[in-house]
């Protein structure tokens, strides 16, 4: 941990693969020997603490956030002082051993609370872009990097880098047709009383799994998606991570409850905007943050999935502060909205 405090803001990489192997659609990347993936995680500076899977994908809770492995897609999200971008090249190499080629890469993150504690290659967005350009295969030639800024006094920004080849555009066609969109919520200045739910009692005699499951129930997080198979973990003395697995859809929650640098995140994918809005309200009630950002990424042109967020947060005492949008070749439209509590 940095001397100042734990960096809650995650770095997130989504890698998409394509290949001629007819069995890739069934198992694909899930055939990679897990010991190889564990080595990659060690290089990034994190480990697996819990795991669950279904017929569609595998979900891992990490010491620093989460990893999801689908047949042709990997999502890896890490916080703290991890060196996430170092995972891309070895993961692409391991994918090649099962006949899959990297065809799309999306990197996103918010603004770090402790930017000076970040190691190479995460010391600045420019350094991250340079590292990505040096480490991505040449076929990913369609690239874009942009920073979506908050117009408010807050220094919070949303950093987005995408790179793809023409195969990735085909791979995106599935998301386009289904109307699937990704939602990433970052919350800071959590309500102090609610944040205490993510601290364990001294010598509680529980395992990380059993304490995590209790936190999922007590806080109301289980009700965010009652259909999901939940894999949860409580750190000692505090901190919480969970992955939800619901058919092909994942959800994930991470909590750093320490006062002074408290942070919580929620991420999931949706097709139905009403379902997303309902989940958003439930999650915000669990943490009552003084500030939050909501980023939506949607491949389907003209689908304004961000609409309704401000109206849903208004009754919870949160007012919209800024809204920024941009288009990315491998992702579609990214909309970044920031909110702050009226009491502030």
Ligand X SMILES: C[S@+](CC[C@H](N)C(=O)[O-])C[C@H]1O[C@@H](n2cnc3c(N)ncnc32)[C@H](O)[C@@H]1O
Return binding residues.
Answer: 6, 64, 235, 258
**Interface of this chain with ligand X, residues 296 to 335, rule: CB under 6 A:** none
- Asked if 190 interacts with ligand X (CB under 6 A), we say no
258-277 footprint of ligand X as x/- string (CB under 6 A): x----xxx------------
Map residue 244 onto helix, strand or coil. strand
- Cβ-based nearer residue to ligand X, 49 or 316: 49
65 catalytic per annotation: yes
Question: How deeply is 37 buried, as exposed, middle or buried, from its count of CB atoms within 10 A (0-12, 13-18, 19+)?
Answer: buried
220-259 footprint of ligand X as x/- string (CB under 6 A): ---------------x--xx-x------------xxxxx-
What is the crossing angle of helices 34-44 and 88-96, to 10°? 170
Structure tokens at 199: 């601290």
57-76 footprint of ligand X as x/- string (CB under 6 A): ------xxx-----------
- Asked if 79 interacts with ligand X (CB under 6 A), we say yes
Distance CA 213, CA 58 (A): 19
Q: Which of the following is catalytic: 46, 50, 66, 79?
A: 79
Number of residues that bind ligand X (CB under 6 A): 19
Distance CA 339, CA 187 (A): 10
Placement of tokens 């502060």 in the chain? 321
Start-to-end CA distance of the chain, whole Å, equals: 29
- Cβ-based nearer residue to ligand X, 64 or 330: 64
CB-nearest residue to ligand X: 239
CA-nearest of 328, 218, 220 to 283 is: 220
Strands 65-69 and 58-62: antiparallel
Q: Which of the following is catalytic: 111, 241, 251, 265?
A: 241
Q: Which of the following is catalytic: 94, 156, 159, 254?
A: 254
Distance CA 184, CA 279 (A): 12
**Binding-site ranges for ligand X (CB under 6 A):** 6, 8, 10, 63-65, 79, 235, 238-239, 241, 254-258, 263-265
Residues with a known catalytic role: 65, 79, 241, 254
């Amino acid at each position: 941990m940095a001397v100042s405090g734990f960096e809650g803001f995650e770095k997130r990489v989504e890698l998409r693969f394509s290949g001629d192997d007819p069995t890739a659609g069934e198992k694909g990347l899930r055939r990679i020997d897990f010991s190889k993936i564990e080595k990659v995680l060690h290089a990034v500076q994190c480990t697996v603490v819990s795991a669950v899977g279904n017929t569609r994908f595998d979900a891992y809770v990490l010491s620093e956030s989460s990893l999801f492995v689908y047949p042709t897609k990997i999502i890896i999200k890490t916080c703290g002082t991890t060196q996430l971008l170092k995972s891309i090249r070895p993961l692409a190499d391991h994918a090649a051993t099962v006949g899959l080629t990297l065809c799309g890469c999306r990197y996103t993150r918010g603004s770090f609370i402790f930017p000076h504690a970040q190691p190479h290659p995460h010391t600045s967005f420019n350094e991250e872009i340079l590292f990505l350009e040096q480490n991505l295969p040449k076929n990913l030639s369609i690239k874009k990097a942009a920073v979506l800024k908050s117009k408010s006094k807050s220094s919070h920004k949303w950093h987005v880098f995408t790179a793809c080849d023409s195969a990735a555009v085909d791979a995106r066609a599935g998301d386009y047709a289904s109307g699937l969109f990704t939602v990433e919520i970052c919350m800071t200045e959590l309500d102090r009383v609610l944040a205490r739910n993510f601290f364990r009692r001294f010598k509680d005699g529980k395992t990380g799994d059993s304490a995590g499951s209790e936190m999922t129930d007590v806080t109301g997080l289980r009700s965010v998606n009652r259909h999901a198979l939940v894999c949860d973990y409580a750190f000692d003395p505090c901190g919480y991570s969970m992955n939800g697995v619901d058919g092909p859809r994942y959800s994930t929650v991470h909590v750093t409850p320490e006062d002074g640098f408290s942070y919580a995140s929620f991420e999931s994918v949706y097709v139905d905007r009403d379902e997303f809005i309902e989940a958003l309200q439930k999650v915000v009630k669990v943490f009552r943050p003084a500030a939050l950002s909501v980023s939506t990424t949607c491949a389907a042109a003209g689908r304004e999935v961000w609409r309704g967020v401000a109206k849903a947060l208004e009754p919870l005492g949160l007012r919209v502060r800024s809204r920024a949008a941009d288009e990315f070749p491998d992702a579609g439209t990214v909309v970044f909205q920031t909110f702050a509590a009226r009491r502030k």
